[in-house]
Amino acid sequence: MDWKLLASTFGLIFLAELGDKTQLATFGLAAGGSSRLAVFLGASLALVATTALAVLLGDAVARVVPEVWLRRGAGVLFVVLGVVFVATAD
């Protein structure tokens, strides 16, 4: 197991998820629901399922597209989205 990759993945996803829409929705469901355990399990299973899908699709794309182009594409996408978000901000 690549422990450095595990730790960096955990850190990145943990920080990215703090305060996002998913966490706020989970917060609302837990506050208004009768079973926090059901909300926890449902949210956990959803995150595991979406993460599994991302890993499978990422692996499939990586088999076809060289890593350098994936990194470049991701960088361009982040810049474009950043520009769009700044340009459309109220």
* Model pLDDT, residue 33: 82
Mean pLDDT of the chain: 93
Asked whether 58 and 41 are in contact (CB, 8 A), the reply is: no
The two tokens of residue 49 are 């399922």
* Model pLDDT, residue 31: 94
The low-confidence residues of the chain, meaning pLDDT below 50, are: none
* Model pLDDT, residue 42: 95
Asked whether 30 and 20 are in contact (CB, 8 A), the reply is: no
Which stretches within the chain are classed as H helix?
A: 3-17, 21-32, 36-64, 67-87
Terminal-to-terminal C-alpha distance of the chain: 45
